[in-house]
Amino acid sequence: MNLHISGHHVTVTPAIREYVESKMQRITLHFDHVIDSQVMLSIEPLKHRAEVTLHIPGKDIHCESTQENLYAAIDTLVDKVDRKVIQHKDRAQNHAHVSPKRSILLEN
């Protein structure tokens, strides 16, 4: 997975970069087919924002989180993205396994 981390009004320090990389590894545990991910960290007055866009085959997943602390924003962001990735994976698996004959049998 290619991970691009950038900052808007914030310098991305090695500590922040390592923290984001370690948290984003959780997503690859659930879904291996992530092509590219872009993380944008920004600081505005009284709030810190973290955004991510995941490029996966057939879809782009975008999430954002706003908190008072940058590390808390990253934590909630990874939770949101993880839920969306699991949702996408479940939908893809459920649609792939239902055959027309099986759906007729399930209806009766």
Q: What's the pLDDT score for residue 66?
A: 95
Rounded Cα distance between 21 and 39, Å, is 10
Rounded Cα distance between 40 and 49, Å, is 8
CATH number of the domain that residue 31 is part of: 3.30.160.100
State pLDDT tens for residues 11-70: 999 999 999 999 988 888 777 777 889 999 999 888 999 999 998 888 899 999 999 999
Is this structure's pTM higher than 0.95? no
Q: What's the pLDDT score for residue 102?
A: 53
Count of domains in the chain? 1
Alpha helices in 1-108 (DSSP H): 14-30, 70-97, 100-107
Rounded Cα distance between 23 and 65, Å, is 14
Q: Which residue segment(s) compose the domain that 79 sits in?
A: 2-107
Residue 95 backbone zone (phi > 0: left; psi -120 to 50: alpha; other: beta) = alpha
State pLDDT tens for residues 71-108: 999 999 999 999 998 888 888 777 655 555 555 555 55
Q: What's the pLDDT score for residue 98?
A: 53
Q: What's the pLDDT score for residue 27?
A: 85
